Amino acid sequence: MKKENVPQDKSSLENFTREVCYVKNKDGKYETELSTGWETKSVALENAWEEINRRTEEAKNNCLAGKSSPVAYYLELRLMDIPVLAGYTGFFSWQIKRHMKPHIFAKLSDKKLEKYASAFDISITELKNFNP
């Protein structure tokens, strides 16, 4: 790509970050150039965030309806998956899946809840008294 062809489309991240692109200068040598982004990438990024927000909202509604525990909500909110959470807490994946059930979550000890609270960067009180 030539230096003058580097995309500079508007994006939601243009005020926060730039992407480094390798371009050819007038002499045909490679150098770096900053790009604010390009439309295709911006659309894909916006779609990804919409999906994240939808999943978080669904997890919140399931928790409020008593279909799942706060673990499921904070897992989505913190952009984690079960293996990542297992790494932070030391729980096995099957245990985390069980802890997502409200009746199992209600029986968890403060020691176990502390592991979740630490992983989600919240207090045990916030975890126990779910109020997003």
Q: 16 and 74 in one domain?
A: no
Residue 44 clears pLDDT 70, i.e. is over it: yes
Tell me, yes or no, whether 47 lies in a domain: no
Same domain, 124 and 62: yes
Q: Same domain for 65 and 31?
A: no
Judge whether 42 lies within some domain: no
User: What confidence score (pLDDT) does residue 117 get?
Assistant: 97
Total structural domains in the chain? 2
Judged on CB neighbours under 10 Å (0-12, 13-18, 19+), 68 is: buried
**DSSP secondary structure letter of residue 20:** E
73-120 pLDDT, tens per residue?
999 999 999 999 999 999 999 999 999 999 999 999 999 999 999 999
Q: Are residues 87 and 32 in the same domain?
A: no
- Residues 100, 73 share a domain: yes
Residue predicted with more confidence, 44 or 8: 44
Mean pLDDT rounded to a whole number for the chain: 90
pLDDT per residue as tens digits for the range 23-33? 888 888 898 88
Indicate whether 32 and 84 sit together in one domain. Answer: no
Asked if the structure places residue 49 within a domain, the reply is no
| Enclosing domain of residue 62 | 54-128
Q: Which two tokens stand for residue 101?
A: 């059930």
| Residues 106-117 as b or e (16 or more Cβ within 10 Å = b) | eebeeebbebbb
- pLDDT tier, 14 (very low <50, low <70, confident <90, very high otherwise): low
At residue 13, the pLDDT reads 64
Does one domain contain both 30 and 59? Answer: no
CATH number at residue 115: 1.10.260
CA distance 36 to 20: 9
25 within 8 A of 11, measured Cβ to Cβ: no
Q: What is the mean pLDDT of residues 43-68?
A: 94
Considering only residues 21 and 81, tell me which one the structure prediction assigns the higher pLDDT. 81
| pLDDT for 38 | 75
Q: Are residues 62 and 100 in the same domain?
A: yes
Instruction: Tell me, yes or no, whether 44 lies in a domain.
Output: no
Q: Quote the pLDDT of residue 12.
A: 67
